[in-house]
Amino acid sequence: MTARSRLRAAARRRGRAVEFARAALGVWHLMRAQRAGDQHPVLDRVLGVRQLAQAAVVLRAGTADAHTASALVDAAHGVTMVPLAVLDPRGRRFACGQLWIALALTIAEVAVVGRGRAGRDRVGGRR
């Protein structure tokens, strides 16, 4: 195995790891929504379904563009949590938690893509 093919395989593994972590987060949200006393069951259900769907789509596509789009979705989610954290004292803890999760996932997705060298289509591969 050449050095280049080892790097490509490592990039594919990192991409899968991020999406499996995202899917686990989605399952966690769905389980949390079923728990008695959850203050935001509807939000947890919506976020759980979104995380699972996003993980499935990005895993299926497997492209650098899919990971980039996923990072944009996570960044947008984080930005939407800022007004909630500022304006809603009851939702502040939830919003701050979501902001940190969105930040972590955005960084992870960007790290998978790397510098985005020209001529690359699939994560860790060539067109």
Mean pLDDT across 79-103: 94
Lowest mean pLDDT of 7-11, 17-21, 60-64, 97-101, name the range. 7-11
Q: How many Cα neighbours within 13 Å face the side chain of 66?
A: 20
pLDDT band at 73 (very low <50, low <70, confident <90, very high): very high
pLDDT band at 127 (very low <50, low <70, confident <90, very high): very low
Question: Quick one: which H or E segment has residue 5?
Answer: helix 3-34
Cα(76)–Cα(127) distance, integer angstroms: 28
Q: Which residues of 57-73 are buried (b: 16+ CB within 10 A; e: fewer)?
A: ebbeebbbebbbbbbeb
Give the Cα-Cα-Cα angle 43, 107, 22 (nearest 5 degrees).
45
Cα(28)–Cα(40) distance, integer angstroms: 13
Kindly list the distances between the CA atom of residue 91 and the CA atoms of 81, 83, 85, in Å, as whole numbers in the listed order.
Answer: 10, 10, 6
Cα(118)–Cα(113) distance, integer angstroms: 12
| Residues of the chain above pLDDT 70, percent | 90
Mean pLDDT across 47-72: 94
Per-residue pLDDT tens digits for 34-53: 998 888 899 999 999 999 99
